Structure 1
């Protein structure tokens, strides 16, 4: 390995295929727009954002040995990722994500992460070899299977690591329940995902973050769209309302929030400053020209 990573990003690294239309859309609409194909997936989105902040991420994931997989490996390396530890399963296709977005947000999306799911704990092999004894930052996304996430939550290999968790989508939020009692886990969720995790309905981020902490979670960051986001940890509860912007893209916003927060903390920012930095970076991201 030529470089030492600042953080391990474990989870989905795939091709994002996203169609965007610059006006509001509804179910059944057929509209003109722009379709893009680029490296994506929660783990990859977080890694790319962290790399832009000057950090060096290493990817732990599964990428097929097909032509799309070879192309994706080259793209990851070209973007500054450490790819030495990526598992390349034979006979499995490279994963893909497809989404349709309008000015009014995400219309629909399908995540095909079957190869990552079928690879199981083979993607963690470097943790007992080249990365043995790792106690630094680890970002884990909810595209992993429940069994693998449960294994990570109980694994002594990760007991001293600084775990940062992203659910990937509301439909996968409940997969992260094994981490609610993990001694070092920080959970990044939106309001809906917090409710799904706890089987409840919350009306503001502060209440949701406090409720997550009451279940034994080490630290919680909860976003709520254009409304205030909150951080809860120990006896601390912080909130910050993001600037108002026109939404032009959605996919990757949560990953941007998480990466900006991690980067700010790694540079010594105070909890309030790190939260503010994350919200401001996310507002800039979603208002970016992407059509």
Structure 2
């Protein structure tokens, strides 16, 4: 109800009253993340049921797949992510991928080589997915592109962030702010970037908007 009041469409959300709501806990200090635990057991248990509207006609079918943006993250199981990477239901979608955490980054490897997948990662996660050591956003982006990613947006805290495709690489430095929180910064960056591109912003403007939004969030 509250989501509906905010203008969020929730008619296709799976609600399973037999499963408890997943939880996330983070411990931060002075703008740094010290530890975090994500309980995604209910999401894993729900499995492919969360994707039903994309195949049963409510949003699309295998013969007429959804063509809009879809955000996916590494909290889904390896098996389900691998299925999505190969499914005709997702073949026309604009796939936007986030690892959820460095520990789950390699779950996104099935999307290397996917022509419509965009990775949103930090420099460490880029290296984990590509299987090489990375020193910054540029080297992380270059590693992902070399590994087969169609597009990669790689951040590196207060240092330059990169939007890379095989044919070009764009780098911008985020605004300088005093960090008061960090949990959710990556999600804010990703959401702002998708929103900007959905409104028609070109690459530089979309990256700048995403960095400004994430900086404002981190600053509190």
Q: TM-score, normalised by structure 1?
A: 0.71
Distance 1:77 1:268 in 2: 25
Which residue does 2:27 correspond to in 1? 100
Q: Give the number of the structure with larger relative contact order, counting CA–CA contacts within 8 Å between residues 6 or more apart.
A: 1
**Of 142, 145, 158, the match for 1:213:** 145
- SS of 1:108's equivalent? strand
Query: Any gaps of 5 or more consecutive residues in structure 2?
Result: none
Distance 2:192 2:17 in 1: 35
Aligned length: 215
**Do the aligned residues in 1 keep the contact of 2:85 with 2:111 (CA within 8 Å)?**
yes
Does the alignment pair 1:183 with 2:110?
no
**Of 109, 115, 118, the match for 2:42:** 115
Does the alignment pair 1:160 with 2:88?
no
**Do the aligned residues in 1 keep the contact of 2:111 with 2:117 (CA within 8 Å)?**
yes
Does the alignment pair 1:201 with 2:133?
yes
Runs of 4+ more than 6 Å apart = none
Which residue does 1:282 correspond to in 2? 214
**Do the aligned residues in 2 keep the contact of 1:186 with 1:220 (CA within 8 Å)?**
yes
CA deviations on 1:155-182 (whole Å, 9 max, x unpaired) are 0111111111111111111100000111
What is the deviation of 1:204?
Answer: 1.7
Q: How does 1:114-133 map to 2 (within 5 A)?
A: 114-129=41-56, 130-132=58-60, 133=65
**Do the aligned residues in 2 keep the contact of 1:159 with 1:183 (CA within 8 Å)?**
no
**Of 157, 160, 163, the match for 1:225:** 157
CA deviations on 1:176-235 (whole Å, 9 max, x unpaired) are 000011110000000110111122211121121111111221100000001100111131
Q: TM-score, normalised by structure 2?
A: 0.94
Does the alignment pair 1:137 with 2:65?
no
What is the deviation of 1:81?
Answer: 1.9
- SS of 2:139's equivalent? helix
- SS of 1:157's equivalent? helix
What's the C-alpha RMSD, in Å, of the aligned pairs?
A: 1.2
**Of 176, 180, 191, the match for 1:244:** 176
**Of 64, 78, 101, the match for 2:5:** 78
